[in-house]
């Protein structure tokens, strides 16, 4: 070990603050910079802005490329460095701490005008990496700019507000009073809106992209969660905007976020893209599945048969054949969340419903209810009974239905066991309700359909986070359940060829 000369880049070793604010490794930054036209780094007039500076790695790597690209035009190194840092490279830090870190890694000094700064032309401490304490603008308990919850983020001056300057203004162009050719960075991903965490938190990365477009640069490049392609809280309009944007020239999509951010778990993966003001055509789409090699295609993000982005182009031919039948989608018989108005915490917090513990035996005017008890990782399914008056949406109470767990591992193609709900039985928010069905045999035939590889492939194609929603089922055709369906019959019905069948068979595990 003593004979090994190991000098790692300190920015490769930084731990991330959280899954909300993720530091970008230098290797990834350079892969993103490689997608831009390289003559940008040989032009002393090109201007770059990172509006979400954390470690300063984007600014540092841009400066290194400019330093090399401008050697012939500005031979004197000090003059060249001064020009790059005062005229070309700009950043907006997300916190006071990251502003110091960004200046240290970019200027070699946390104060831009001190003796250790590599730039000798700055007259103030901040240089061109700004940080300004910004406040949320509250209205009806929410921030009008980012949607943050006032109860969560209304804080004293000594605490971080997470009111990011770039998106908390109607006039972002006035932050530096100039135009930029390239806006690039890795924005914060989400904030709590008071409704929960994880999948329930409010995404905000889309706000940085939309704000960047308002500045009318030549290029935008950002790395963000891939969740927007399929779902995400409040992302419908943004997804539609991106799918219809023909200026997205290149898009790299990784199913496993750890390939970009080692040690970071982001459900559904991450992607980065180049938006080119002059581009008006198909997108070069590169998709890296969790297992296997990168697959690529050149296509528009929007398709005729889906309101979401089809990430793996090998799925397209299958979906196009199904779309030709113009059938009603399975979504029509899938409930929204909380199908009977009973929260998932019923068995853990029975006092909310007037019980010390949920009765495990029936009583007069009671309903049998399926739920879970225990904490994450240790939760187990349980059956109890509650007063009929506590439940809602009981019009199908005396029908047959299926109860499908709405959460399971993103990469799994085998969902947890689906429950056959008999007349008089309901479920908590833990499950989505499928159906109703007039006869038990129809319900059982539907249950067999959900076990086919064909059905599970279409469900898997549309998943990007562990929690299913009603819309996750909108690629699956709704069939006649007066009969059972097998994979062989389904492949034949939709005219799938050997290659398409093999793709499904290879990617969808068999159910024992």
Q: pLDDT tens across 332-350, in order?
A: 999 988 999 999 999 999 9
Residues of the chain with CATH 3.40.50.150: 10-311
Check residue 205 and give its pLDDT. 96
Task: Decide if pLDDT at 19 tops 70.
Answer: no
Give the range among 18-27, 212-221, 432-441 with minimum mean pLDDT: 18-27
Count the neighbouring beta carbons within 10 Å of the beta carbon of residue 436: 18
The DSSP letter of residue 35 is T
Tokens of 314: 């090998």
Check residue 381 and give its pLDDT. 95
Q: What percent of the chain has pLDDT over 90?
A: 79
CA-derived radius of gyration, the chain: 27
- Whole-model pTM: value is 0.85
Average pLDDT of the residues in 29-43: 97
Check residue 409 and give its pLDDT. 78
Q: What percent of the chain has pLDDT over 70?
A: 94
**Where do runs of H (alpha helix) occur along 154-199?**
none
Check residue 244 and give its pLDDT. 96
Q: Which residues partner with 272 through β-bridges?
A: 223, 252
Class of domain 10-311: alpha beta
Residues in the chain: 512
pLDDT tens track for 285-332: 999 998 889 999 999 999 888 889 999 999 999 999 999 999 999 999
Name the pairing type of β-strands 283-288 and 431-437: unpaired
Average pLDDT of the residues in 22-39: 94
Could you give the angle at the alpha carbon of 244 between the alpha carbons of 242 and 245, nearest 5°? 65
Check residue 161 and give its pLDDT. 83
Nearest to 452 by CA among 476, 421, 420: 476
Task: Decide if pLDDT at 169 tops 90.
Answer: yes
**Rounded Cα gap, residues 158 and 200, in angstroms:** 28
**Rounded Cα gap, residues 224 and 270, in angstroms:** 6
Helices 453-461 and 440-451: angle between axes, nearest 10 degrees: 70
**Rounded Cα gap, residues 34 and 164, in angstroms:** 28
**Rounded Cα gap, residues 445 and 420, in angstroms:** 11
Task: Decide if pLDDT at 508 tops 70.
Answer: yes
* Mean of the per-residue pLDDT values of the chain: 91
Check residue 9 and give its pLDDT. 59
Confidence of residue 88 (pLDDT cuts 50, 70, 90): very high
């Amino acid at each position: 070990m003593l004979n090994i000369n190991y000098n790692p880049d300190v920015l490769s070793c930084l731990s991330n603050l959280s899954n909300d604010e993720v530091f970008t490794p230098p290797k990834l930054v350079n892969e993103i910079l490689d997608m831009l036209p390289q003559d940008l780094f040989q032009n002393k007039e090109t201007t770059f802005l990172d509006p979400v500076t954390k470690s300063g790695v984007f600014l540092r790597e841009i400066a290194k490329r400019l330093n090399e690209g401008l050697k012939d035009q500005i031979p004197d190194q000090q003059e060249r460095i001064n020009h790059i840092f005062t005229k070309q490279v700009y950043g907006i830090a997300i916190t006071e701490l990251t502003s110091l870190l960004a200046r240290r890694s970019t200027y070699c000094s946390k104060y831009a005008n001190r003796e250790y700064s590599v730039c000798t032309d700055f007259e103030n401490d901040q240089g061109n990496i700004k940080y300004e304490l910004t406040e949320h603008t509250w209205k009806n308990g929410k921030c009008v700019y980012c949607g943050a919850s006032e109860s969560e983020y209304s804080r004293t001056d000594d605490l971080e507000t997470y009111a990011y300057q770039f998106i908390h203004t109607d006039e972002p162009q006035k932050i530096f009073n100039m135009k930029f050719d390239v806006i690039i960075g890795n924005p914060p991903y989400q904030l709590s809106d008071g409704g929960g965490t994880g999948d329930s938190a409010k995404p905000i990365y889309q706000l940085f992209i939309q704000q960047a477009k308002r500045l009318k640069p030549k290029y935008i490049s950002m790395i963000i969660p891939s969740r927007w392609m399929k779902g995400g809280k409040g992302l419908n309009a943004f997804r539609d905007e991106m799918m219809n944007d023909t200026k997205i020239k290149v898009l790299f999509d990784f199913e496993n976020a750890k390939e970009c951010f080692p040690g970071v778990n982001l459900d559904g993966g991450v992607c980065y893209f180049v938006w080119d003001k002059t581009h008006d055509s198909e997108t070069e789409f590169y998709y890296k599945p969790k297992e296997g090699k990168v697959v690529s295609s050149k296509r528009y993000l929007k398709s005729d048969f889906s309101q979401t982005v089809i990430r793996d182009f090998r799925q397209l031919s299958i979906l196009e054949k199904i779309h030709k039948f113009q059938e009603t989608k399975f979504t029509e018989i899938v409930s929204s969340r909380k199908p009977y108005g009973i929260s998932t915490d019923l068995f853990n917090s029975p006092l909310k419903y007037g019980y010390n513990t949920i009765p495990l035996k029936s009583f007069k005017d009671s309903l049998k209810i399926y739920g879970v008890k225990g904490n994450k990782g240790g939760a187990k399914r349980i059956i109890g009974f509650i007063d009929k008056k506590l439940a809602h949406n009981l019009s199908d109470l005396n029908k047959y239905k299926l109860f499908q767990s709405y959460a399971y591992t993103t990469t799994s193609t085998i969902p947890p066991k689906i429950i056959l709900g008999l007349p008089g039985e309901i479920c908590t928010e833990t499950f989505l309700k499928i159906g109703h069905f007039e006869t038990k045999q129809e319900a059982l035939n539907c249950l067999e359909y959900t076990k086919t590889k064909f059905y599970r492939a279409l469900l898997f194609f549309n998943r990007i986070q562990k929690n299913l929603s009603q819309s996750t089922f909108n690629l699956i055709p709704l069939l006649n359940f007066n009969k059972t369906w097998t994979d062989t019959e389904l492949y034949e019905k939709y005219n799938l060829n050997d290659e398409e069948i093999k793709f499904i068979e290879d990617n969808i595990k068999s159910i024992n």
